Amino acid sequence: MLWEALFLQLGYNATLVTLGACFLGVAAGVTGTFLFLRKRALVSDAISHATLPGVALAFIVMVTFGGDGRHLIGLLLGSAASAGIGLLCVSWLTRYTRLAEDAAIGAVLSVFFGFGIVLLTIIQSMSAGRQAGLEGFLLGSTAGMLWSDAIVILIGGLATLALVLAFRRPMSLVAFDPEFAAANGMNVARIDLLIMGLAMAVTVVGLKIVGLILIVAMLIIPPVTARFWTDRTDHVSLISGIVGGVSGYVGAGLSASAPNVPTGPIIVLVSFALFCVALFFAPNRGVLAAVLRHFRFQHRVHMRQGLLALAQGQPIYEKLTLRLLQRAGLARPDGVATEAGRARAAKALRDEKRWEVVRADQAFEGAAALYDGLREIETVLTQDQITEIDHRIGGPAGVPT
């Protein structure tokens, strides 16, 4: 069943949901990159919760005028208006009051969400509201998705993605250095509103699939995952879009292949699984890479200490140090240096004396700042400088590495 779902062979509705979730994931991942880099991840939470009263009010208005209260476009327009008001409230409170941004976000989030819950309660008491199914907007609901719904989500996701690509350069500059962006004539406040407006668009589009509570994860987890793999903004945005798209596609496929499993939560769990892979296995920032760096550092320390002990004729008591020297062919099991070990030990002792001269001479102040006890002196000084230091020390100059 899973393979059939992933290859879009489980029927019309499952194919619509899978493709819609994939495009939504790409748009959310790319858009969320700028929220994450701007350190405004919580703004997406305020925006998502602010959509609920708009959904409820749109339903009430459409039913009052004799329409179908569950018309998706009307509900999305209502949620967009409500989210926009919430976004402006956060911006106004942050700019014109003494409230910090996190406090303003908390206030808007709680008030709008509480108002939305009250409206949902009122709707449930209406004759037309008992079968409204608006609670599906909390966690997402794809069971009854129509072709028109999928088209709305697809167009909304593609339009949001196009806007992000069109304005990615000014948004990247503001995300990293707002002062420099302002000095270059950019309106930082307007670009901030653009970033949050795009996040609002993704939130509104994703209500049907993921729901207003979980859409925050679609905006934040992919860029956080991408950040483990790269340091470049454009690559973070690209990887984030891929992670979001894969999460949406695989999550919707898993949901379609397993009955009674909600789509939104599964998409978020798949996204979290990709985050865990990055957390542990990313080549530079992952946990495994950090552990390997720690072990390599320990080995370098032991090797350095062992070579200095061999050079000074001292016994080696540390088993790990002796084992590493044996493995490198520098010492015998009894701790006596081999011929290669004697040469390396002499070089290590010579380098220590060279570093002593470097650290004592103000002319080498820049090089002395790089000393950590492990760095090869040849990576810091030229051969001519090393030869000059050797003349000061006395003895053979330019001991080979």
Give domain limits for the chain.
2-264, 288-393
Instruction: At 44, list the tokens.
Output: 């997406």
Averaged pLDDT of the chain: 84
Task: Identify the pLDDT of residue 329.
Answer: 92
Instruction: Identify the H or E element spanning 290.
Output: helix 287-311
Q: Tell whether the torsion through CA atoms of 290, 292, 298 and 303 is positive or negative.
A: negative
Q: Does domain 2-264 have CATH number 1.10.3470.10?
A: yes
Distances from the Cα of 222 to the Cα of 180, 267, 312, 366, 400, angstroms = 27, 11, 54, 41, 50
Summarize pLDDT for 344-384 with one digit per residue, the tens: 999 999 999 999 999 998 888 888 888 888 888 888 889 99
Burial 181-205 (b: 16+ CB within 10 A, else e): beeeebeeeebbebbbbbbbbbbbb
DSSP symbol at 20: H
331 backbone dihedrals φ, ψ, rounded to 5°:
-150, 155
Q: Are 390 and 397 in contact (CB under 8 A)?
A: yes
Q: For 46-60, 98-112, 145-159, which range has the lowest pLDDT when averaged over its residues?
A: 145-159
Q: For 18-32, 62-76, 157-171, which range has the lowest pLDDT when averaged over its residues?
A: 62-76
End-to-end CA distance of the chain: 62
Q: For residue 209, give the nearest of 142, 158, 145 by alpha carbon.
A: 142
Q: Tell whether the torsion through CA atoms of 297, 300, 302 and 308 is positive or negative.
A: negative
Q: Are 330 and 340 in contact (CB under 8 A)?
A: yes
Question: 384 burial class (0-12, 13-18, 19+ CB within 10 angstroms)?
Answer: exposed
Q: For 11-15, 176-180, 310-314, which range has the lowest pLDDT when averaged over its residues?
A: 11-15
What is the distance between the alpha carbons of residues 82 and 232, in angstroms, rounded to a whole number? Answer: 35
Share of the chain above pLDDT 70, in %: 89
Q: For 72-76, 245-249, 294-298, 315-319, which range has the lowest pLDDT when averaged over its residues?
A: 72-76
Mean of pLDDT values over 97-124: 86
Summarize pLDDT for 142-189 with one digit per residue, the tens: 655 667 767 777 787 788 888 888 888 888 888 888 888 888 888 888
What is the distance between the alpha carbons of residues 311 and 325, in angstroms, rounded to a whole number? Answer: 13
Q: Find all residues with CB under 8 Å of 274, minimum gap 6, and list them.
A: 221, 222, 225, 243, 246, 247
What is the distance between the alpha carbons of residues 77 and 57, in angstroms, rounded to a whole number? Answer: 10
